[in-house]
Amino acid sequence: MADIVVQHALGAYPVHVLRGSATRIAAAVDAAAPTGRLVVVSDDTVAALYAGPLAEALRTTAGRDVRVVTFAAGEASKSLDTARTLWSALFDAPFDRGDVIVALGGGVTGDLAGFVAATAMRGVRFVQVPTTVLAMSDAAIGGKTGVNVPQGKNLVGAFHAPEAVVAWIDTLQTLSERERRSGLAEIIKSAWIEGPDAVDQVARDAAAMAGGDLDALERGVDIAARLKARIVTEDEREGGRRRLLNLGHTFGHAIETSTGYGTWTHGEAVAAGMILAARASEAFGFADASFERQMRTIVEACGLPVEPPDLAIDEWLDPMLRDKKRSGDGVRLVLGRRAGEIFDQHVEYVHLRSWLARNRVAAPD
């Protein structure tokens, strides 16, 4: 498939969606950052599968100086404590502002390694090599980096554009079924923002993607990556249209925060959050019941949850009111009318509280 380009304030970077061996991925990384020592940052699960082959390919075919630094897999590692450990690992060996971090892994790795790159020596280059559906479709594109704190998800971070994003499609073969399906939430979200044709494509491919078919997954990643690239090019700092990419995320982040990171995966929480957003769109008079029905059908076909956990009102509202998307006396929710008509809407706190009290776990008729 043709490459995708993201424009940003300081330049541009390509998004490559690639099939092939570590040698092909190494060539793309080398082309994106042809000078400096390379530090591959990966969680211990991904590193055991892919860090060795990628590092060896970078050494033997590109002649690069490479070392690998790992951390414990899981959302709990997306923290300032892990960032400190990675900073120390960088500075305990020769490392300077001309060197490059290669983030090899999923969304946690990309956000964490990107944050370390943004802050080490006031900013060093990095390359994203995403290995999950979620990261390829969303997290690796757009320059957002960050870590979680006890008060909420992604509350500490920075914008820091990578030199390139190299989506390594072959790595999706080794994802667990739960992780693969979790990532499909971002593809579903992107299709709804893109429009009816994209929704129809994702609906046709839903079962195949959930089952791990690489051709179907590549098509889904391409839809999501192109949408993300186009939107972040238009709105790099989330001042307007980029907010649409939060469809399902305000509810989803509340689920993750209130259940404890890792109980629900990010994608599972976003999937349930999208259903709630569709339900809220109807309740607030923007959509009819067909919006939720069609979304629910696709979410179910992808093997994702369509109902949220049973949380207390404050377990919903406290994370929402600490979220970056809080707006004055309310919250900015991404709602919609139908596929391709998704919008950012201010909802007053009192109305949101009342609606959650009545409908937070109610299934549609």
Annotated catalytic residue, options 181, 226, 266, 332: 266
Report how far residue 321's alpha carbon sits from residue 165's, in angstroms, rounded to the nearest whole number.
33
Return all residues near 124 (Cβ < 8 A) that are at least 6 apart.
97, 99, 100, 101, 117
CATH 3.40.50.1970 in the chain: give the residue spans: 4-174
Question: Other C-beta atoms within 10 Å of 59: how many?
Answer: 14
Annotated catalytic residue, options 8, 37, 238, 322: 238
> Residues 26-64: pLDDT tens digits?
999 999 999 999 999 999 999 999 999 999 999 999 999
Q: How many helices (H) and strands (E) does the chain have?
A: 14, 12
Of 161-165, 240-244, 326-330, where does mean pLDDT reach its minimum?
A: 326-330
| pLDDT > 50? residue 15 | yes
Q: Report the amino acid identity of residue 54.
A: L
- 249 as an active site residue: the answer is yes
- 228 as an active site residue: the answer is yes
- Answer whether CATH 3.40.50.970 is correct for domain 4-174: no
CATH 1.20.1090.10 in the chain: give the residue spans: 196-359
Pick the CATH number of 196-359 from 1.20.1090.10, 3.80.30.20, 2.60.40.650, 3.30.360.10: 1.20.1090.10
How high is the pLDDT of residue 108?
A: 94
Annotated catalytic residue, options 75, 179, 186, 282: 186
Annotated catalytic residue, options 181, 219, 228, 296: 228
- 238 as an active site residue: the answer is yes
Please provide the DSSP assignment of 163-192 as one string: S-EEEEGGGGGGS-HHHHHHHHHHHHHHHH
Higher pLDDT, 327 or 319: 319
How high is the pLDDT of residue 173?
A: 95
pLDDT class of 327 with cuts at 50, 70, 90:
low
Report how far residue 363's alpha carbon sits from residue 157's, in angstroms, rounded to the nearest whole number.
36
- 122 as an active site residue: the answer is yes
> Residues 76-111: pLDDT tens digits?
999 999 999 999 999 999 999 999 999 999 999 999
How high is the pLDDT of residue 9?
A: 86
> Residues 154-206: pLDDT tens digits?
889 999 999 999 999 999 999 999 999 999 999 999 999 999 999 999 999 99
How high is the pLDDT of residue 363?
A: 40
| pLDDT > 60? residue 361 | no
In the beta sheet, which residues pair with residue 4? 15
Helix axes 349-359, 313-322, angle to 10 degrees: 150
| pLDDT > 90? residue 292 | yes
Report how far residue 126's alpha carbon sits from residue 10's, in angstroms, rounded to the nearest whole number.
15
Annotated catalytic residue, options 16, 64, 78, 144: 144
How high is the pLDDT of residue 362?
A: 40
pTM listed for this prediction: 0.88
Annotated catalytic residue, options 125, 160, 189, 242: 242
pLDDT class of 285 with cuts at 50, 70, 90:
very high
- 253 as an active site residue: the answer is yes
- 246 as an active site residue: the answer is yes
